Amino acid sequence: MISRGLSFKLGSVSTGTVSKSLCGSPVLVKRQYANLTEEQKERLAEGPGLEDFISGDASGYAGQESIKRVKGERLRLPDWLKTEIPVGKNFIALKKSLRKLNLHTVCEEAKCPNIGECWGGGEHATATATIMVLGDQCTRGCRFCSVKTSRNPPPPDPMEPVNTATAIADWGLDYVVLTSVDRDDLPDGGAAHFAQTVREIKSRNSSILVECLTPDFRGDLEAVTVVADSGLDVYAHNMETVEELQWLVRDPRANYKQSMSVLSHVKSRYPKMVTKTSIMLGLGETDEQVMKTLEDLRQIDVDCLTLGQYMQPTKRHLKVKEYVHPDKFKYWEEIGNKLGFVYTASGPLVRSSYKAGEFFLKNLLEKRKMEVK
Domain locations along the chain: 89-372
Annotated binding site: 107, 112, 118, 138, 142, 145, 353
Q: Is 373 a residue whose pLDDT tops 70?
A: no
Lowest mean pLDDT among 1-15, 26-40, 103-117, 160-174: 1-15
Q: Is the pLDDT of residue 71 over 50?
A: yes
**Which pLDDT tens digit goes with each residue over 254-313?**
999 999 999 999 999 999 999 999 999 999 999 999 999 999 999 999 999 999 999 888
Average pLDDT, integer, range 125-152: 83
Q: Are 288 and 230 a contacting pair, CB within 8 Å? A: no
Q: Which residues sit in the known binding site for [4Fe-4S] cluster?
A: 107, 112, 118, 138, 142, 145, 353
Considering 135-139, 170-174, 221-225, 345-349, the range whose residues carry the highest mean pLDDT is 221-225
Q: Match domain 89-372 to its CATH number in 3.30.1330.60, 3.20.20.70, 3.20.20.60, 3.30.429.10.
A: 3.20.20.70
**Amino acid identity, residue 321?**
K
The DSSP-derived string for 60-75 is T-TT---EEPPTT-PP
List pLDDT tens digits, range 222-266.
999 999 999 999 999 999 999 999 999 999 999 999 999 999 999
pLDDT at 314: 85
The pLDDT value given to residue 213: 95
User: How much is the pLDDT for 13?
Assistant: 41
Give the C-alpha separation, 278 to 353, whole Å. Answer: 9
Q: What is the pLDDT of residue 72?
A: 59
Torsion region of 282: left, alpha or beta (phi above 0 gives left; psi -120 to 50 gives alpha)? left
Residue 187: per-residue pLDDT: 97
Closest CA to 44 of 73, 77, 11: 11
User: 154-188 pLDDT, tens per residue?
Assistant: 999 999 999 999 888 887 777 888 999 999 999 99
pTM over 0.75: no
pLDDT surpassing 90 at residue 25: no
| CB contact at 8 A, 309 and 323 | yes
Distance CA 107, CA 217 (A): 22
- Rounded Cα–Cα distance for residues 242 and 321 (Å): 14
Query: Is the pLDDT confidence value at 364 over 90?
Result: no
In angstroms, the Cα distances linking 344 to 274, 334, 347, 369 are: 13, 8, 10, 21
